[in-house]
Amino acid sequence: MSASSPPSEPLAEDPGLRVLHVFGGLEVGGAETWLSTALAHGGLRAAYSHDFCLLSSSEGPLAAELRSRGHRVLHVPLVPRWSFPQRLFSFLRRRRYDAVHSHVLLFSGVTLAVARAAGIRLRIAHAHNDSDGRASSWTRGLYRRGMRRLIAWASTDVVGCTRRAALAAGGTERTLRVLPYGVALADSDAPRPSPGRAALLDSCDLPPDARVWGHIGRMAPQKNQRFLLEAFAAAYHADACSYLVIAGEGPLRSGLEAYAEGLGVADRVRFLGLRRDAGALLDALFDVLVLPSLHEGLPVVLLEAQAAGLPCLISDAVNPDTVVLEEQVQSLPLSAGFTAWSEAAQRLSLRPRIDGRVAAQRLRRARFDAGQSWERLLALYQPERDRSGDAPLQPVAGVSP
């Protein structure tokens, strides 16, 4: 499909409210996986139809899965940029959506301004990160201010996975809505099922006495895996039982593999690629989760790790709203250096887990249960809500920021 051609998939007659989700691509990231899982359950599946519009010509691994469940994955490429607003306007006018739910942080200002011009009555700017990850400059500052003002004018809702994320997207204390992610939690009377540790160790070519540092995340600058490798290198010589297991894909993978070789630690680092069994890795393989992120919104993997009772080491750039099991999660500034991170990870890897049922109860009380999260998402689309005009909506009741 050329950059300027309209989507070619045929229109279908779908019942209920028609929602269009706008993403750059459908990678296996926390936000994308959370939404994909949410759309497979309950009222979100029964009452609404959900299409996906991607701003790139590539799709990502989740596209095929979404199509298999009946969702349409369409493209309005951002390039060429000069014609993008007109092409998106024509796309929206042709398909007559009831809602545009934009997941592209500050660029939601453009997508929702076009949606407003096209007469879409419900326009949601959804922030999954609290930073765009770009270095500050006068041009970047102008862009950020301009997009936030455009979002404030064009959106009916500004939603964030945390209050900090919603504010980064241009929400105000009066208008923003907080919609935390949720994860599947164990029943109070039964632990979460998981495969045996021995089988996972064997599948990763790890010895029975391995002490495993774990990391799950897209291999991109935000996740800061080079720092992780440097910190692990300090442990490599101090403890022959320490291994590092990294699950995820991304543009930096080949460079990170080469970097591990250059550090002389490649024999004890495992790059697993994309995995759909993150729960099993957290439940049975990892001894500590290490997240040295440069910035985050609300990392789903940290919620899942806490649900498994797993000790965690995170950077102080990770939003503290994500921390429920304070005794299991240590936050360190990246400026503390590789040695401090290595020593902290080593200590945490020896700490026993919290029972999964106890962890689940505490996460449920903190409103990080998947069912609660999906109910809050469903509330965004309720047709009975007053949409007569562009008056801002109140924050979601009962949700801690």
* 173 and 257 assigned to the same domain: no
Greatest alpha-carbon span in the chain: 65
Is residue 56 in some structural domain? yes
> In DSSP terms, which residues pair with 243 in a beta bridge?
212
DSSP letter for each residue of 316-345: TTS-GGG---TTTEEEE-GGG-HHHHHHHH
Distance CA(223)–CA(216), nearest Å, equals 9
* 299 and 351 assigned to the same domain: yes
Is residue 394 in some structural domain? no
287 — phi, psi (to 5°)? Answer: -100, -20
* 150 and 203 assigned to the same domain: no
Distance CA(87)–CA(325), nearest Å, equals 47
* 123 and 260 assigned to the same domain: no
pLDDT of residue 396: 37
Is residue 8 in some structural domain? no
Structural domain span for residue 138: 17-182+371-380
* 177 and 207 assigned to the same domain: no
* 109 and 220 assigned to the same domain: no
C-alpha neighbours within 13 Å on the C-beta side of residue 250: 19
For residue 1, give every residue at least 6 positions away whose Cβ sits within 8 Å of its Cβ, in sequence order, or none: 7, 8, 57, 75
pLDDT of residue 62: 86
Is residue 5 in some structural domain? no
Per-residue pLDDT 10s for the chain (401 aa) are 333 444 444 444 445 689 999 999 888 777 888 888 888 875 566 668 899 999 988 888 888 889 998 899 999 999 999 999 999 999 999 998 999 999 999 999 999 999 999 999 999 999 998 888 788 899 999 999 999 999 999 999 999 998 889 998 988 877 788 999 988 887 644 555 566 899 999 999 999 999 999 999 999 999 999 999 999 999 998 999 999 999 999 899 999 999 999 999 999 999 999 888 888 999 999 999 999 999 888 899 999 999 999 999 999 999 888 899 999 999 999 999 999 999 999 999 999 999 988 999 999 999 999 888 888 888 888 754 544 443 333 333 333 33
* 357 and 375 assigned to the same domain: no
For residue 104, give every residue at least 6 positions away whose Cβ sits within 8 Å of its Cβ, in sequence order, or none: 22, 23, 24, 55, 111
Which CATH number do you get for residue 91? 3.40.50.2000
* 164 and 244 assigned to the same domain: no
Is residue 399 in some structural domain? no
Distance CA(393)–CA(242), nearest Å, equals 50
Q: Which two three-digit tokens encode residue 132?
A: 């765009």
* 239 and 140 assigned to the same domain: no
Is residue 298 in some structural domain? yes
* 103 and 216 assigned to the same domain: no
Is residue 289 in some structural domain? yes
* 145 and 214 assigned to the same domain: no
Total number of domains in the chain: 2
* 104 and 173 assigned to the same domain: yes
Identify the sign of the CA torsion 211, 216, 219, 225: negative
Q: Residue 23's closest CA among 89, 101, 95? A: 101
Is residue 192 in some structural domain? no
For the entire predicted model, the pTM comes to 0.84
